[in-house]
Amino acid sequence: MATNTPPSGRPRDTDLDQRILAAARDLLAAHGYRGLSIGAVARAAGTTRPSVYLRYAGKEDLATRAIAGMTVADPLRSSDDLHADLVAELRHFRTAVTRPNGMAFVGTVLGEEHQTPSLIARFRERLVLPRRRRIASALRRGAAIGALREGLDVDVITTLLTGSIYARYLATGDVPPDWPERTVGALWPAIRREPDAS
């Protein structure tokens, strides 16, 4: 009969694993991929270069694994109030991208699109596409329950909602706290279903 035996040697320090990945994400955002080094990550995580190399094959492996560890949380709202649901999604998105070095992180992965395509591939997989799916799902649900008009171009509306955050930041260097409400409010007349005339 098979038995489970513990692995030999010291158990893996999962806390150190997370410190290394967090340090890599912080350094990527602050200094870009070119400024990332295994030594700097080791120092920031309070460990040694050999400890980092024990876990990751090199800088690209570490960077892509750090991005792969990032996720978009479960949907915040699912109600009959689609206007409020969309505002909640954009508030959540604004918080994510305006945190310290949030936009710089986006710039880092875009800057490496051709030299290190695995970075932006992971970024899209773990953050961009899940965010778009959440908003697209809310729009489709709104159409299904009759809150939004039929025939909406969900891809375009999703891009307008998320893209407004990036565009505002690039234009002015900030995204005001009320930007989610203003964005949804501006689009709402074009996407809501008009009441049937009686």
Stretch 74-98: mean pLDDT: 87
Calculate the average pLDDT of the chain. 89
Q: Out of 1.10.1740.10, 1.10.10.60, 3.30.70.580, 3.60.15.10, select the CATH number for domain 14-68.
A: 1.10.10.60
What are the domain boundaries of the chain? Answer: 14-68, 82-191
Q: How far apart are CA 160 and CA 163, in angstroms?
A: 5
82-191 and 14-68 share a CATH fold: no
pLDDT tens digit sequence for 95-119: 988 888 888 889 899 999 999 999 9
pTM of this prediction exceeds 0.75 = yes
- Which CATH homologous superfamily contains domain 82-191? Tetracycline Repressor, domain 2 (1.10.357.10)
